[in-house]
Each structure stands twice: as structure tokens, then as C-alpha cells.
Amino acid sequence: MTVHQTPAAFTLPPLSPLQAAIRQHRVALARLDAAQDLDAEEEPEAGRLAREAEVRAWAALMAAPCLSRADAASLVAHVTPSIEADPCPDLCSKLVDALAAVLKADRESVAGEEGEPSPITLAIRAHEAARRAQEAASRLLESIAPAGLDASSRAVCEAEEETSSLLQQTPCGSLADATALLAYLRSVLADAPDLSTFDRAVFMVRVADLGLFVGDQEGEDAGETSGGLTDAIAAHRRAWEVFAAMGGPEGGEAHDAGSRLLEMPCGCRTGAEAMRAHLRWFLPELEAAGEECRDGAAGYEPELKARLRELELFLAGPVDAGEEVGRVVNSGRG
């Protein structure tokens, strides 16, 4: 007697609210495209109904929360082709807000979970999408310059700036992350002449450091630790100690000295170890400081944290913070 077993039912994993909203919006867009292909005289209601359905699906998409890396990846995939055709400021803002929430929550866990992209992969995709939106807005401005496009252009420029910050504040979690980010930043530096002076400087530093870590230096300066790095570390330590002793609230010199650290490449392993040691000293000092003192690091604390995470990842062996910083700083005093 042959016993036939009923195969177990196969069920797809449930969609999150955002993923469901994205799918519904894609369906609505497909139906709208189909309705537009119909003869308006034969199907007078088809276009109107399809447009109304797309508006409802759009509203649901804008209202759905982004709760995970998988959500964020789905949103980026949905956004990218849309904003190339229409640099919609609402969609750009949704992208930035969603990615910011996910990436900030995930920075302490830099490796992607199974089936999910790593945070740096999401940051790259988000910045690339925002750049494409910015390029699309520029093309429209050059061609027809419709009323209201100036506001849209400003919105997508702000999205590019925000995603650029996310890119700078998100550390690599693996060699694969570093290799991907290195290739992406090189393409940005080559193809984006409108980068701000600060963003270009920070991207160039990260390219130099990542090239050092992964052994892929295409002309980046990887010489011995420069006097510039030594001086920057010493200046930042002095400025912070003075600022912390004063107890705030004015931290202009400390802020400027910290910003200069972001613009200094490590150059070699000795420089990387010196930078790591300095950040191991400084970031706990910053955490222990009062809120007024923390204002002295406003604008660059997340970037320095990301840099330390990468230095910890790619440098092997412990380094004593006080000893290493003292050695490097003293070596520059002559």
C-alpha cells in the first residue's frame, strides 16, 4: 500500500508594512502605465481610477515606517529608478529619514545579518540614489525649469548632503565593505565636481586610508606619518584639554581641531596606530564630558567614531592609548 504524504505548505515570509506598501505602489504604477496606453476615448475612466489608486498607494508608502535593513534596502531599490525620472522631494526625504534611522540604530553592529545588506552597503546605495536625484533635478533645471522646481532641487540637494553625512558616519564592517566603499568613493571623486570642499577632503582621506587597509592604493599618498598628522593630533589634544578645563560653552578651537583630524590621512601603519590611540583617548573623554563640553565636538563626533571602528577592525594588536599618543605627539616637537 502506497502512502502519499501531503507536502508541507510553503509560505513566504510576511512582508513588513513598508515592503507591503512598496509592492502595492509598484502594482499601482503598473496599472497606471497600462491605463495610459489605452485609448482615452474607449476607456475614459481607466486613467482616472488608476491615478487615484496610485495616489492612495503613494500616501501609504509615505506613511509606512522603515524598521529594518531589509526595509531600507527595499526602499532604496524602489526609489532609485523613480527619482531618476522625477526628483520628487518627498521621496528623497523619505529615503533620507528611513536610512538615517536604520543606520544610526545599527552602527554598533556593522556586519549585516544573513540576507540583509551591511550598513555601509545601504549608505552607499542611499548616497548613489540621492546623487541620481540631484543629477535629474539639474537636467530638468537646464531644460524646462518648471515652476516650483527650485524647491525640488533644493530638497534633493539636501538629501545628497544628508546621505553624504551618513556615508561618512557609517563604518565598514568587513574587507568586502571596505573594498566596495573604496571603489564607490573613487567614482564619486572622479565624477562629482560639485562636491563641497569639506566632503571632497573627507572622502579623499577615507580613500587613502581604505586603500592602505585593503592594499589597493592607486596613487594615494601612503608615505610615512606626516608632520601634518602629528601636529593635528597634538593640536586637537591641547585644544580639547583647554576646552574641557573651561567647561564650555564656546568650543570653536576644539571643534576646528577635531574637524582637521577628519582631513588628515593616516598615511601608513604608524600613522593609523597613532590615530587609533588618539581616538581611543578622546572619544571616552568626550563621552564623560558634560553636555556643554560635548558641543565642542558637534558635527564630527559620529565621523570620528566611524573612523575608530574601522581602525580597530583593520589594525591588529593592542595599542596603549596614552603611551602611543605621547610617543607620536612628542616625536613632532623636535
58 belongs to a structural domain: no
215 belongs to a structural domain: no
Given a cut of 80, is residue 103 above it in pLDDT? no
48 belongs to a structural domain: no
* CA separation for the pair 4, 327 (Å, rounded): 76
Which range marks the domain in which residue 283 is found?
A: 227-331
Name which residue leads in pLDDT, 178 or 195.
178
Same domain membership, residue 236 and residue 142: no
Comparing C-alpha atoms, which of 73, 204, 100, 89 is closest to residue 157? 89
Please give the tally of structural domains in the chain: 2
Same domain membership, residue 143 and residue 74: yes
Contact status, residue 238 vs residue 261, Cβ threshold 8 Å: no
DSSP string, 62-82: HHS---SHHHHHHHHHHHHHH
DSSP designation for 297: G
The predicted-structure confidence for 31-83, as pLDDT tens digits, reads as follows 888 877 765 556 667 778 888 888 898 888 888 888 777 887 888 777 776 66
189 belongs to a structural domain: no
Q: pTM for this one? A: 0.71
Provide the residue type at 264 as one letter. Answer: M
Q: What is the pLDDT of residue 324?
A: 44
Same domain membership, residue 233 and residue 155: no
Comparing C-alpha atoms, which of 163, 252, 263, 153 is closest to residue 207? 263
* CA separation for the pair 169, 161 (Å, rounded): 12
Q: What is the pLDDT of residue 323?
A: 42
* CA separation for the pair 67, 190 (Å, rounded): 34
Same domain membership, residue 232 and residue 151: no
The predicted-structure confidence for 195-251, as pLDDT tens digits, reads as follows 888 888 889 999 999 998 888 765 444 444 456 898 999 999 988 888 877 765 555
10 belongs to a structural domain: no
164 belongs to a structural domain: yes
Cell of 261: 583630524
Q: What is the pLDDT of residue 155?
A: 67
Same domain membership, residue 163 and residue 80: yes
Same domain membership, residue 231 and residue 163: no
Gyration radius (Cα) of the chain, Å? 25
44 belongs to a structural domain: no
Given a cut of 50, is residue 148 above it in pLDDT? no
Identity of the highest mean pLDDT range in 2-6, 17-21, 63-67 = 17-21
Provide the residue type at 177 as one letter. Answer: D
Same domain membership, residue 165 and residue 80: yes
Mean of the pLDDT values across residues 153-173? Answer: 80
248 belongs to a structural domain: yes
Same domain membership, residue 166 and residue 235: no
Q: What is the pLDDT of residue 97?
A: 72
Burial state string for 99-115 with b = 16 or more CB within 10 A and e = fewer than 16: bbebbeebbeebebeee
Given a cut of 60, is residue 114 above it in pLDDT? no
